[in-house]
Amino acid sequence: MSRAGRKWEIVAGDLATPLGFRAAAAASGIKKAPGALDLALIFSDSPATQAAGVFTTNRVAAAPVLLSRRNLVESRGRCRAIVVNSGNANACTGKEGTHTAEETARAAAELLEIDPSQVLVASTGVIGVPLSPELILAQLPYLKEALSRESAAAVAQAILTTDTVSKTCVVRSVARGKPVHIAGIAKGAGMIHPHMATMLSFITTDAGMGERMLHNLLLAAVEDSFNRITVDGDTSTNDSLIALASGLAETTVVPGNESRAWFAEGLTLVCQTLAKMIARDGEGATRLVTVEVVGARSPLDAERAARAIANSPLVKTALAGANPNWGRIVCATGYSGAKFDPTRIDVSVNNLALCRKGVDAGFDDAVAHRELDQKEVLLRVDLHAGTSTANVWTCDFTRAYIDINASYRS
């Protein structure tokens, strides 16, 4: 592989841009709004496809999460299909919920002529409301017939709930003179918190690799992307990130090879781009906020401080008002558990110093307000306690978050 071929660039596309994938979406009636897309099928044509998944750490995992975890093990990562619905999370739904997930996989497998263990299932939406299999089973034959590269773009729409925009990222590189693609879609707006966010994300690539390699690369990419965003500190019952690698690009990622670092870079780019899209689209959010902590004693200290700031409702409401309230940022850093000397901490927004050595930096209020009143804001905290850094992405906390969540039953 030539040096020149190692760069990844973001390109237009969808889940079917990588070779070997087809998909389709349908309106099954799970969502109340007539004609709303709420069901999708993603399929990989290659029998050599490898799959890997990362799922919620919540003790209360939804039926589709439990089934997908099991199928990845049973099929030894040989999964080739994903059935995903929005509008109902099929969580806290007891034995009926398990039955629905299993029936979905069984029916899809029959239509696609693969083993039921090769089908993964994902759901998102309201918790605790029964989801009967009928609406899904009724649409599966149509979805199987509709599978195409052209209809894959609609899948990003079909997985949304309170999201205001669909989220897709495709990257392209060249290896041995041939193009290689990684594509990803995601949904998530509330219940967004590391380990993991309320979040579904599906990734396809035409690079080839073993199951363990794909899983390890996925875990590493998640650590620097989906595990670095927070909207409200709630970790949902349904979080699922699933990747399928068709291997049709004739490029194989192998351990120890520089191809591993190359592919990891592309995968992390896709995951980070999607993660930032989720933070930016946080329920009621008006801005994407990058919290960057530098000068920490250890990576853990940097992460603790960044997460405490990004999770603080007081910091996030101040951000909603574009209010340069650096005292709340210092306060959150203070209770984060990170070690630092309060008389050395600096805080800035974009390039404007708000706090120097723990006290007011003497900034102009109107200027600071203008710096904060942007679609993208960088909050930078220097602890002057070491050399470690960490980034976390979050959003502001507005009245609209309350309005959405006081009424939405999820």
Would you name the residues annotated as active-site residues?
198
CB of 327 to its own copies, least distance (A): 3
Of the candidates 235, 262, 231, 265, the one whose C-alpha atom is nearest the C-alpha of residue 397 is 231
The nearer residue to its own copies, 139 or 236, going by C-beta atoms, is 236
Contact 196, 169 (CB under 8 A): no
Among 100, 237, 290, 391, which residue interacts with its own copies (rule: CB under 8 A)? 237
CB of 286 to its own copies, least distance (A): 11
Q: Which stretch binds its own copies (CB under 8 A): 38-46, 101-109, 144-152, 340-348?
A: 340-348
126 scored as a contact of its own copies (CB under 8 A): yes
235 scored as a contact of its own copies (CB under 8 A): yes
179 scored as a contact of its own copies (CB under 8 A): no
Contact 171, 268 (CB under 8 A): no
Measured CA to CA, the distance from residue 218 to residue 205 in angstroms comes to 12
Of the candidates 350, 338, 233, the one whose C-alpha atom is nearest the C-alpha of residue 289 is 350
395 scored as a contact of its own copies (CB under 8 A): no
72 scored as a contact of its own copies (CB under 8 A): no
Q: Which stretch binds its own copies (CB under 8 A): 101-109, 113-121, 161-169, 400-408?
A: 400-408
Measured CA to CA, the distance from residue 190 to residue 405 in angstroms comes to 9
Q: Which stretch binds its own copies (CB under 8 A): 33-41, 99-107, 120-128, 205-213?
A: 120-128
CB of 313 to its own copies, least distance (A): 4
Q: Which stretch binds its own copies (CB under 8 A): 132-140, 159-167, 210-218, 324-332?
A: 324-332
For residue 263, which phi and psi values (nearest 5 degrees)?
A: -70, -40
Type of residue at 84: V
Q: 209: which residues sit within 8 A by CB, 6+ positions away?
A: 50, 217, 245, 247, 252, 253, 254, 263
The nearer residue to its own copies, 76 or 399, going by C-beta atoms, is 399
The nearer residue to its own copies, 44 or 311, going by C-beta atoms, is 311
The mark string for 190-219 relative to its own copies (x by CB under 8 A, - otherwise) is xx-x--------------------------
Interior/surface letters 223-261, b for 16+ CB within 10 angstroms, e for the rest: eebbbbbbbbeebbbbbbbbbbbbbbbebbbeeeeebbe
397 scored as a contact of its own copies (CB under 8 A): yes
Q: Which two tokens stand for residue 370?
A: 């203008």
CB of 140 to its own copies, least distance (A): 25
Measured CA to CA, the distance from residue 198 to residue 235 in angstroms comes to 6
CB of 317 to its own copies, least distance (A): 4
Residue 281 CB-density burial (10 A; 0-12 exposed, 13-18 middle, 19+ buried): buried
- How far from the centroid of its chain's Cα atoms is residue 113's Cα? 30
Type of residue at 88: N
In the block, tokens 């708000």 appear at: 354
In the block, tokens 């120890």 appear at: 256
Among 5, 179, 233, 386, which residue interacts with its own copies (rule: CB under 8 A)? 233
The nearer residue to its own copies, 82 or 392, going by C-beta atoms, is 392
- How far from the centroid of its chain's Cα atoms is residue 138's Cα? 29
Which parts of this chain interact with its own copies (CB under 8 A)?
57-61, 89, 91-94, 126-130, 190-191, 193, 232-237, 311-314, 317-318, 320-321, 323, 325-328, 330-335, 338-340, 342-343, 345, 355, 357-360, 397-399, 401-403, 405-407, 409-410
